[in-house]
Structure 1
Amino acid sequence: MARKLKILFTSSEVYPYAKTGGLADISGALPKALQQLGHDVRVLMPKYKSVVEAPQGFEPLHREVDVPLAGRSLKGFLFQGRLDSEVPIYFMENDGYFYRDQLYGSASRDYPDNAERFIFFCRAILETCRTLGFRPDIIHCNDWQTGLVPVYLKTVYAGDPWFAGTRTI
């Protein structure tokens, strides 16, 4: 391997913590495969009610993340676990957005604030990098819930030296 990359893998669902479909399976397996290739991989997802109820362990990091959103600053709180005792996984807690019975809504309709929930998550992803002191070479985004991360890097965080070498997938 030419160079060990620092990769932040972001997803709205990761097996075995939260799953509605195939995204969770990939998000649970690919980070482990990348780590086995020698990369420094970390995962970040929302701390849903299903995470709290999952048998896998996690613990608070006692780290607060200030997340700017629509002219105000919201709080997120970080928790940490491990995927199969290998890959660090971080959980972004904001009970108002994520502590719900379902991930995205009921069987009949989506939560009406899904856009706001995942706008918060996208900003929280970037602010978490600073809070953890982690400068990723790559932020691997998955599906629409993390789709604003590349946009924020090119606009809100353009010229920010913390993310100068960061690329997205």
Structure 2
Amino acid sequence: MSQKRILYITQEIFPYLPETQISHLSRYLPQAIQDKGHEIRTFMPKFGNINERRNQLHEVIRLSGMNLIIDDSDHSLIIKVASIQSARMQVYFIDNDDFFQNRETLTDQKGEEYDDNDERSIFFVRGVLETIKKLRWVPDIIHCHGWFTALAPIYIKKGYKDDPCLKNAKVIYSVYDENFEKPFNEGFSEKLRFDTIGDKEIEDVKKRGKMDFVNLTKLAIDYSDGVVQGSENIHKELDKYIIDKKIPYLGYTPDFENNVEKIGEFCDKIDA
């Protein structure tokens, strides 16, 4: 794999959240790629159940303070950072009082999914991309993990298509064995409106029907340059959809070291 800049956008990273397939890969893949001489940036949401003191998070004042408008409402963007010392790896956190403070991850303490997960996802994705712009860091590849990041591809390819930091980035989306029960709210598509995401793009999203897990993942796939099968088993409809699209597709690899090598080769192929 030739030297590259790789941006990782993920919904969870161990040890900040419990170890899962996504949080494990999001913890160790960036480190492995960095150890091979590549430059990385890694972002996740600052969910309210992440202990800031124990994990030594601190706010990055120079990156914070912007307001993001979603559905005609202003939301303040707060950027925090922490380091995984053993990996020499920094992790950036997207925070906001309305969407993340004093709230759990994607569900509340009773396991109920938040009704505004659509807006939380929009805020997270746009917050990452706005921060990359502020850093003036130009990624070659953007690798997304977890459905909470599924809106990143359409924003990168449409909303930020003219931005010098993002316009040439290749997008890879990893599909996992996950799901959510509550489809996004009716009117979700209008909330996507931003810059060059206009009537045409909004109408395309509306035609897809209710935005459940499968349709959201299809949306991510349609705006990605390549797809990685992150779990041994994924939704059969999605597997068929990826194959039928004839998009570059890396199948599941259970061995971690072999998986890192294959993802590196896959990134080279996508970015060729």
The question of a shared fold, defined as TM-score above 0.5 by the shorter chain, is answered with yes
Give the whole-Å Cα distance in 2 for the aligned partners of 1:142 and 1:43: 11
CA contact (8 A) 2:160 2:167 kept: no
CA contact (8 A) 1:67 1:73 kept: yes
Q: Which residue of 2 aligns with 1:10?
A: 9
Q: Which residue of 1 aligns with 2:188?
A: none
| Unpaired segments ≥5 residues, structure 2 | 173-272
Residue 26 of structure 2: SS of its match in structure 1? helix
Query: How far does the alpha carbon of each residue in 1:42-73 deviate from its partner, in whole angstroms, 9 at most, with x for none?
Result: 11111122323562222211022442423454
Equivalent position amino acid for 1:96 in 2: D
Choose which of 110, 113, 118 in structure 2 pairs with 1:115. Answer: 118
Is residue 2:148 matched to residue 1:145? yes
Q: How does 1:42-57 map to 2 (within 5 A)?
A: 42-53=41-52, 55-57=54-56
Q: Which residue of 2 aligns with 1:35?
A: 34
CA contact (8 A) 1:41 1:88 kept: no
- Structure with more relative contact order (C-alpha pairs < 8 Å, separation 6 or more): 1
Q: Which residue of 2 aligns with 1:91?
A: 93
Equivalent position amino acid for 2:99 in 1: Y
| Unpaired segments ≥5 residues, structure 1 | none
Q: Which residue of 2 aligns with 1:82?
A: 83
CA contact (8 A) 2:13 2:44 kept: yes
Q: Which residue of 2 aligns with 1:60?
A: 59
CA contact (8 A) 2:67 2:74 kept: yes
> Residue 162 and residue 16 in structure 1: after superposition, are their counterparts in 2 closer, same or farther (change >3 A)?
same
Query: How far does the alpha carbon of each residue in 1:70-123 deviate from its partner, in whole angstroms, 9 at most, with x for none?
Result: 345422111111123511111111021012342111344201111110111111
The aligned length equals: 168
Provide the aligned C-alpha RMSD in A. 1.9
Per mean C-alpha deviation after superposition, the further-off stretch among 40-49 and 52-61 is: 52-61
Give the whole-Å Cα distance in 1 for the aligned partners of 2:115 and 2:60: 30
Give TM-score, length-normalised by structure 1.
0.89
Give the whole-Å Cα distance in 2 for the aligned partners of 1:126 and 1:165: 14
Give TM-score, length-normalised by structure 2.
0.57
Residue 78 of structure 2: SS of its match in structure 1? strand
Tell me by how many angstroms 1:127 deviates.
Answer: 0.6
User: Larger % of strand: which?
Assistant: 1
Give the whole-Å Cα distance in 2 for the aligned partners of 1:44 and 1:100: 20
Identity %: 32
Give the whole-Å Cα distance in 2 for the aligned partners of 1:83 and 1:99: 22
Per mean C-alpha deviation after superposition, the further-off stretch among 130-139 and 33-42 is: 130-139
Per mean C-alpha deviation after superposition, the further-off stretch among 147-156 and 49-58 is: 49-58
Equivalent position amino acid for 2:89 in 1: V
Per mean C-alpha deviation after superposition, the further-off stretch among 123-132 and 56-65 is: 56-65
Equivalent position amino acid for 2:81 in 1: Q
Give the whole-Å Cα distance in 2 for the aligned partners of 1:108 and 1:92: 22
Give the whole-Å Cα distance in 1 for the aligned partners of 2:151 and 2:103: 25
